[in-house]
């Protein structure tokens, strides 16, 4: 099962939890708050930045 990292928006506690169902509500194990947000997984993120921006104007 995939493990996701969550961060509590109340106390700022970060924790990992198994998410089997998408509709499942994740609760912070520290303060029992439901205001948690899923952190980005440690995968290679493609950043599309305008590196070839010619200074014109």
Question: Is 44 in a helix, a strand, or coil?
Answer: coil
Nearer to Zn ion, 30 or 55 (CB): 30
Nearer to Zn ion, 30 or 41 (CB): 30
Residue 56 C-beta: closest distance to Zn ion, Å: 49
CA distance 7 to 13: 6
Residue carrying structure tokens 């305008």: 50
Site for Zn ion in 7-46 (CB under 5 A): 8, 10-11, 13, 28, 30-31, 33
57 CB contacts (<8 Å, ≥6 apart)?
none
Q: Interface residues with Zn ion (CB under 5 A)?
A: 8, 10-11, 13, 28, 30-31, 33
């Amino acid at each position: 099962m995939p493990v996701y990292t969550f961060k509590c928006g109340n106390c700022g506690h970060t924790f990992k939890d198994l998410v089997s169902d998408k509709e499942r509500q994740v609760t912070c194990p520290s303060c029992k708050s439901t205001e948690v947000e899923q952190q980005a997984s440690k995968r290679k993120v493609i950043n599309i930045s305008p590196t070839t921006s010619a200074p014109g104007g």
